[in-house]
Structure 1
Amino acid sequence: MVIQKSGSVDTGHDTKEPIDEKPADAEIVSVMGSENGDEALELVGKERTQQFSEEYNRRLRRKLDFIIPPLCAAVYFTQFLDKTSLNYASIMGFPITGQQYNLVSLAFYVGFLIWEFPTVYISQKLRVAKYLGCNVVVWGIILMLQASTSSFSAFFALRFLLGMCECCVAPTLILIISMFYKKDEQGVRVAYFYVMNGLTQVFGGFVAYGISFYSGKAIAPYKIVYLLLGGLAILVGIAVILWLPDSPVHARLLSKEERIAVLERVREDQSGTTNKRWKKDQIIEAVTDIRTWLIVLSTMMTSIPNGALSNFSNIIIKNLGYSSRQTLILSTPAGGIAAVMTLFCGWYSDRFMSRMVPIVFALVPTIVGAAMLIGLNDSGQKGVLLFAVYLIGTFGSALSTIYAYNASNTSGHTKKNTINGMTLVSFGLGNIIGTEIFQPKDAPNYIPGKIAILVLLTVQLFLCYLLRGINLHMNKQRKARLEEEKARHGWTDEDVQKERERHAFMDLTDKQNLFFVYTT
């Protein structure tokens, strides 16, 4: 039997000073008799009483990998495909053009921005996966409705509602990954769903290319895109409702023993799982943490180019001198390059427990590509400029790594949700700005927009190193404080491990929990 029982753990020894009930140091938080802890306490309690073999944990992780990453990937695949459906429609007879097209692009992110905090609040009160699945079904219906109209006002309203439904996706997926996987496994698992951004570009390009051969008069080609993608979203939403677990405590596809094992796997990371109660002190800590605002700013630096390129990349390629049909097929390699970069950054992120360095890897090719598009604009070298367009797609991996950063560097359920919400609000605001940096008056070359991308991502390089430096400094301070506490309480290394385990599921924030270690 792989599971081994041990007796309950004594939290103190006669010869050693126990942890203070109300310590003078705010970093050591008493966990005695807490009523505000994680729901994981229902299954595993404050102290580890069961041990699982490495082989058992490996088999359990493989089982999780067959359930969670594929469903997360399906949701993200659907979301990005649906969000960028306008990009394909724009060269397939879409009736809205010029500044009205910009406004329709913008409407999605306005809905996204306005509804982000309400959706995070609602999701914390409900079963997160069920809430996510219902949103996917609803946005599939909304997407199909876009095939029923040709008016600007209707498209604007439907895109606005689409943004409201889709804004719950990233916070929910980040939260689920952080509940089921250890820190050194999260980067790759986030990459597994975020890689869909690149793969959807390949898939969507080929689908749109195939539809472009349709010559019937019964329905416009862009409407076929909306009906097809909307139907796919509804199927994915139903699958999420049925099979994606809300948390380790409520994972119906796992036995009770496996649910306990999942929680014991992540106990050491001190990140916890979920708590239905919103805590004011955790909100205050989130908004007063300088790292939160650096993540918000970094997200915006990435999201402005994303808002521009997700709606205008096909237009840029077409303006190089290609036909609409050629553009659809020529846009697909960019997705493949983006997918490879995302997987590489996810692997590197976990292999070296680094979150900021992979972002630099993702940004540099985009900066080079943007510089090529600006400097070689009048060269007439279509092949070189097309290659530059492919290069600028690598920056998307940066946002994947930011998501992994949030999952690994934030503890306390309310603080997690607050920071994830702020990150996605920044994402929405950045994309709103991004839809306006490629102005009709700058067509066909859009030089000001390309310069903006170059500048923004260069600034983000410096933000990455600043965040990395802050986390390294905080870990150094945390280590010194822990040594002081060991000496003050007379703890052995075994006592420290016991205290670390007892703090894991008390829904403490990373700053409240002395045993939390930041990933750089």
Structure 2
Amino acid sequence: MALPQDKKSLDMVDEKTRSRDEEKDAYDVTVSVADSVEGDEALKLVGRERTNQFSEEYNRKLRRKLDFLIPPLCAAVYFTQFLDKTSLNYASIMGFPITGQHYNLVSLAFYLGFLVWEFPTVYISQKLRVAKYLGANIIIWGIILMCHAAATSFGAFFALRFLLGMCESCVAPILILIITMFYKKDEQGTRISWFYVMNGLTQVFGGFVAYGISFYDGHAIVPYKIIYILLGGLAILVGVCVVIWLPDSPIHARAFTTEERIAILERVRDDQGGSENKHWKKDQIVEALTDARTWLIVLTTLTTSIPNGALSNFSNIIIKSFGYTSKQTLILSTPGGAVASLTTLLCGWYSDKKNERMIPIVFCLLPTIVGSAMLIGLNGSGNKGALLFAVYLIGTFGSALSSVYAYNASNTSGHTKKNTINALTLASFSVGNIIGTEIFQPKDAPAYIPGKIAIMVLLTVQLFISMFLRWINMRLNVKKAAKLQEEKVKHGWSDEDVQRERERHAFMDLTDKQNPFFVYTA
């Protein structure tokens, strides 16, 4: 009697197994349809679970290949952008015809265009191939920059600077996205610093170029026009290189084999940052706007950008006010760029080495606060050496924005949420720079004491915001770890099960809050 009973039980088990298999097949079909919208583009190459293993040596060689292609092109873009954006600073002491409050308004026009077009450009870029879209914008702004040489009136310069800002507004969001798609979290801070360092290097390069042009004494063309023609031509060249060589994503990276593209995606799988998704998701926008950390990032970007807007357009005027000639000012501005570059590289290295994003911001703000205090305290002293040293100290604060970019890259998941937060960050960057162009008022020249006090106060406030953000992320990680432990016990998961679930979640285009396996970087 026992045998028939056992056979009946086995038949029941077989029936249940067939039922589960049918459900699984139906689920897989549903998933494959949903993946095209809900999941990342990465699912076109890799599955939800890891099926490909690559050796450490293979990944090291692959990273080296990435480093020879992506960071240099990103750096060329940022070099061009910052040089073109600050071209007005060099033109201001090389015969530029706009002065006084009109000069302030021309400075402001760039960031106004930047602000107006930031959200539309991010939306458009998500729908298109991001690198191709970036390259087209660079070519267009190179043409616009060359047109500056033909402008003669305030209205023309204002309009051209506005258009320049519109074209350049896509740069940082796209470069940050590209870095996050190709690099792991503990590599992103360094790679972002490798392109952001161009902010300082352009100050050195631009200073020497402007210094050389300043010796031109011909009458065929005004010196500042030469600057615009040269820089515009350089931008067009960089734009063409970007269109040809910069990959849009690991899926469309033509310079890499299919195996290498899969390996790139598998390298970043455990970071839970995802790759890309062409569909805008309303719930991710809502989450970005209701996340308190988003607005703290907006605030910290604002407090950095106001000083940037002031100093990027007035630093040469400040140095000249110490009693130097125009030629001396151009050459003496270059060490400040070297200081900024070194600070950016050191902060990027420390950021990845210690898995920190906010502490490097503190390191780079403190010298600027000291430098601002020196400029205020030593005003009228005639001590040129000490005043120049103070100006060079101020240059360290620029790397704070590089750390903010790295923070966004490492602490945000969900493609739409990433784009929303990057757009808000750059919008606050433009608002801060607009305000910054007005804190150095003509009536306060040549000392600009109120503006220098404002810089010192703003960066002091930013210190506290940065530490508060760090505390929030550490607290969120504790909560996530506790919740994950609860789920592990509830489902009876082993460590292998947890790893499997982590891999399955990687390319689901979930936000950092939706994904239980996402870990924040302090």
TM-score scaled by structure 2?
A: 0.94
Matched residue, 2:54: 52
Q: Deviations over 1:74-113 (max 9, x none)?
A: 0000000000000000000000000000000000000000
Matched residue, 1:297: 299
Q: Work out the CA distance in 1 between the residues paired with 2:174 and 2:32.
A: 30
Matched residue, 1:43: 45
Listed as ranges, the matches of 1:87-126 within 5 Å are 87-126=89-128
Q: Work out the CA distance in 2 between the residues paired with 1:75 and 1:457.
A: 28
Listed as ranges, the matches of 1:263-412 within 5 Å are 263-412=265-414
Q: Deviations over 1:352-381 (max 9, x none)?
A: 000000000010000000000001112111
AA aligned opposite 2:122: V
Matched residue, 2:27: none
Contact 1:31 1:503 in 2 (8 A): no
AA aligned opposite 1:219: I
Matched residue, 2:20: none
**Cα shift at 1:254:** 0.3
RMSD between aligned alpha carbons? Answer: 1.1
Q: Work out the CA distance in 2 between the residues paired with 1:149 and 1:336.
A: 32
**Cα shift at 1:157:** 0.2
Matched residue, 2:251: 249
Percent sequence identity over aligned pairs: 78
Paired residue secondary structure (1:44): coil
Paired residue secondary structure (1:295): helix
Listed as ranges, the matches of 1:187-198 within 5 Å are 187-198=189-200
Q: Deviations over 1:239-280 (max 9, x none)?
A: 000000000000000000000000000000000010000000
Matched residue, 1:144: 146
Q: Work out the CA distance in 1 between the residues paired with 2:235 and 2:199.
A: 15
AA aligned opposite 1:249: I
Listed as ranges, the matches of 1:153-232 within 5 Å are 153-232=155-234
AA aligned opposite 1:374: I
Q: Work out the CA distance in 2 between the residues paired with 1:409 and 1:254.
A: 28
**Cα shift at 1:34:** 3.7
Alpha-carbon distance change, 271 to 31 in structure 1, aligned in 2, over 3 angstroms: farther
How many equivalent residue pairs? 493
Matched residue, 2:4: none
**Cα shift at 1:150:** 1.4
Q: Work out the CA distance in 1 between the residues paired with 2:196 and 2:411.
A: 19
**Cα shift at 1:33:** 6.8
AA aligned opposite 1:347: W
Q: Deviations over 1:126-150 (max 9, x none)?
A: 0000000000000000000000111
Q: Work out the CA distance in 2 between the residues paired with 1:323 and 1:443.
A: 17
Q: Work out the CA distance in 1 between the residues paired with 2:190 and 2:52.
A: 28
Q: Work out the CA distance in 2 between the residues paired with 1:31 and 1:329.
A: 61
AA aligned opposite 1:379: S
Q: Work out the CA distance in 2 between the residues paired with 1:511 and 1:378.
A: 53
Moved over 2 A (4+): 30-35
AA aligned opposite 1:403: Y
Q: Work out the CA distance in 2 between the residues paired with 1:372 and 1:239.
A: 44
Q: Work out the CA distance in 2 between the residues paired with 1:337 and 1:329.
A: 14
Q: Deviations over 1:309-334 (max 9, x none)?
A: 00000000000000000000000000
Matched residue, 1:27: none
AA aligned opposite 1:74: A
Name which of 504, 512, 521 aligns with 1:510. 512
What stretches of structure 1 of length at least 5 have no aligned partner? 1-13, 15-20, 22-29
Matched residue, 2:80: 78
Q: Work out the CA distance in 1 between the residues paired with 2:34 and 2:495.
A: 25
Listed as ranges, the matches of 1:355-504 within 5 Å are 355-504=357-506
Q: Deviations over 1:463-511 (max 9, x none)?
A: 0110000000000000000000000000000000000000000000000
Paired residue secondary structure (2:53): strand
**Cα shift at 1:31:** 7.5
**Cα shift at 1:412:** 0.2
Contact 1:31 1:502 in 2 (8 A): no
Contact 1:195 1:339 in 2 (8 A): yes
Q: 1 or 2, which has the higher helix percentage?
A: 2
Matched residue, 2:11: none
Q: Deviations over 1:371-398 (max 9, x none)?
A: 0000111211111001100110110000
Q: Work out the CA distance in 2 between the residues paired with 1:177 and 1:350.
A: 14
AA aligned opposite 2:374: M
Alpha-carbon distance change, 31 to 183 in structure 1, aligned in 2, over 3 angstroms: farther
Contact 1:34 1:506 in 2 (8 A): no
**Cα shift at 1:168:** 0.2
TM-score scaled by structure 1?
A: 0.94
AA aligned opposite 1:445: A
**Cα shift at 1:32:** 8.9
Paired residue secondary structure (1:52): coil
Paired residue secondary structure (2:69): helix
Q: Work out the CA distance in 2 between the residues paired with 1:314 and 1:469.
A: 38
Q: Work out the CA distance in 2 between the residues paired with 1:364 and 1:195.
A: 19
Larger radius of gyration: 2
Matched residue, 1:259: 261
Paired residue secondary structure (2:247): coil
Alpha-carbon distance change, 141 to 498 in structure 1, aligned in 2, over 3 angstroms: same
Q: Deviations over 1:146-203 (max 9, x none)?
A: 0011111000000000000000000000000000000000000000000000000000
Q: Deviations over 1:50-76 (max 9, x none)?
A: 100000000000000000000000000
